Amino acid sequence: MKPKRLVVVSNRLPIVLNRAGQHEWEIQPGSGGLVTALGPVLRHRGGLWIGWLGLPESDCPSEEYLKDLISSGMHQTGYSLGHVNLCREEVDRYYHGFSNEILWPLFHDLFDHCNFDQCYWDVYQKVNRRFAEEVVKSTDEDDYIWVHDYQLIMVASELRRMGMERHIGFFLHIPFPPLDIFLKLPWRFQILDALLAYDLIGFQTVRDRKNFIGCIRALHGYQVTGRGHVNYIHTDSRHVTVGAFPISIDYREFADFAKTEEVAEEAWIIHANIPGRQIILGVDRLDYTKGIIQRLMAFDNALTRYPDMRRKVTLLQVVVPSRQDVAEYEKLKQEIERLVGEINGKYTQVGWTPVHYIFRSIPRKELVAYYRTCEIALITPLKDGMNLVAKEYCASSIEENGVLILSEFAGAAAQFYPNALLVNPYDIEGVADAIYRAFTMPQETRRMMMRRLRASIQRNDIVKWVNSFLRAGISKDLNDFPQMELFVPKQ
């Protein structure tokens, strides 16, 4: 049997298309944990990545020019790329609409943010069919198809409808909601049936897996077997494997980069500008699921109830712009800025500003320098599939003197307990108490807890995540697939 080729299907390709001039374009490699993890596997076996370039078709260069750019991208990545074109209406209704105005808030238990527009559902199916057609065109029966995230739930069902039998796995990077929340989705049966068209479904946590199984039992009544982290769903026509596969980061890459001279210099500048204080770090994309408003309220509460913290701590809150053309996100930005101004107006003294607020994308060197420098990380999403910022912070804390305050509703909470201070982000006084506890924590306790956190991430890194999913999805011994333990990040 010839080795299987891995085909990754995600909303976005692992390359970024940018204008280099009025009539010139350039391709740059994408970044992120998924690209880092899957790149070596795809390069080794001549794999394929299928996705969208991130721009409406009307904003892209001519088809001939685009082919040349994608060929350049293939040369940079070392594996094949298959692109799916989307028109502006499809971007609005499939991506901004069904994906981000329905599935994103619903799966984060924030259904009051949902806009259940029927036209969103129609276009979502249409675009998923387009992705499936690209899979059919670009793959054969021996390939293993790995589909990623909530934007592409329908791909397997579209493939089955076309009569194409492929070995297909799916990984959901965001949480899966409990039954009472999921029931609010008008297309709940269609989404469940689409997920059951996969051979393997992967979730971030055991809680997400249990939520999904609960929905299957309540709405379909299929037999479910298995124990531990894996279940098997027996439908009328197939057997589906369901497991928990917590995603992680490239620990070595972050730890090694944090040790470099360039990061050390940047970290020195940060502390020189905020001398003699413990720095509390928040890093978030602009999104209502991140709990930024509640975090600022908790910091305000801590300064009120623990006045000995004043002049001794500074909250460094980084917010990365996201979906600024959406009114709800612009309103969130304005509320964040109002609270920052209110806190600074209330507590600022000569030589001390309580909150330093940064609203922009920050380069990787600056981000890792913040991770390395800040004594406390305050990561309090209202709900999160995993939260890789928490893992990046710990991996970059090479002096091991940082304290992680983490929302108990982040997927990483189960892995990090009891070495992180877990909080309920809705409990304003409770988060304030955790901030004070971190502020007063002895150095030896900090080092012990951070050392354990870093060891846990090092043992369970991004390579182990890929290994575990592909072992479950392809074969018990992987005789027909490359042995994943051979693929480790370059030192």
Tens digit of each residue's pLDDT (9 = 90 or more) over 84-105: 999 999 999 999 999 999 999 9
* Confidence bin at 486 (pLDDT 50/70/90): very low
**In this structure, is residue 488 part of a structural domain?**
no
Rg of the chain over all Cα atoms, to the nearest angstrom: 23
Residues 6+ apart with CB under 8 A from 78: 39, 42, 43
**In this structure, is residue 44 part of a structural domain?**
yes
75 or 214: which leads in pLDDT: 214
> Cα–chain-centroid distance for residue 441?
30
Range in 130-139, 398-407, 477-486 with the lowest mean pLDDT: 477-486
Pick from 412, 390, 378: which is nearest to 207 by CA? 412
**Number of Cβ within a 10 Å radius of residue 477:** 9
Say whether both 108 and 199 belong to one domain: yes
Say whether both 466 and 453 belong to one domain: no
DSSP 3-state assignment of 52?
Answer: strand
pLDDT value of residue 476: 43
> Cα–chain-centroid distance for residue 87?
25
Per-residue pLDDT reduced to its tens digit, 418-431: 999 999 999 999 99
Omega before 425 within 30 of 0, i.e. cis: no
pLDDT value of residue 485: 33
Percent of the chain with pLDDT over 90: 73
Tell me the β-bridge partners of 80.
Answer: 48
Task: Give the residue numbers annotated as catalytic, written as ranges.
Answer: 173, 384
Q: What is the CATH number of the domain that holds 379?
A: 3.40.50.2000
Range 21-38 average pLDDT:
77
Say whether both 451 and 472 belong to one domain: no
Q: What distances in angstroms separate CA 258 from CA 369, 396, 428, 450, 463, one per listed residue? A: 7, 5, 32, 15, 20
Say whether both 60 and 137 belong to one domain: yes
Say whether both 19 and 122 belong to one domain: yes
Chain-wide mean pLDDT for the chain?
Answer: 91
Angle, in degrees to the nearest 10, between helices 63-77 and 33-44: 80
Residues spanned by the domain of 127: 6-247+462-480
Tell me the β-bridge partners of 441.
Answer: none
**In this structure, is residue 485 part of a structural domain?**
no
Say whether both 208 and 279 belong to one domain: no
Say whether both 200 and 303 belong to one domain: no
DSSP 3-state assignment of 225?
Answer: strand
Say whether both 218 and 322 belong to one domain: no
Residues 6+ apart with CB under 8 A from 190: none
Range in 23-27, 151-155, 272-276, 404-408 with the lowest mean pLDDT: 23-27
Q: How many domains does the chain have?
A: 2
Residue 253 has which token pair?
């890459």
* Confidence bin at 326 (pLDDT 50/70/90): confident
Alpha helix stretches (DSSP H) within 349-461:
364-373, 388-396, 413-416, 428-440, 443-459
Say whether both 338 and 441 belong to one domain: yes
**In this structure, is residue 256 part of a structural domain?**
yes
Say whether both 198 and 320 belong to one domain: no
Instruction: Tell whether pTM > 0.75.
Output: yes
pLDDT for residue 482 is more than 70: no
**In this structure, is residue 1 part of a structural domain?**
no
pLDDT for residue 387 is more than 70: yes
> Cα–chain-centroid distance for residue 127?
22
> Cα–chain-centroid distance for residue 112?
22
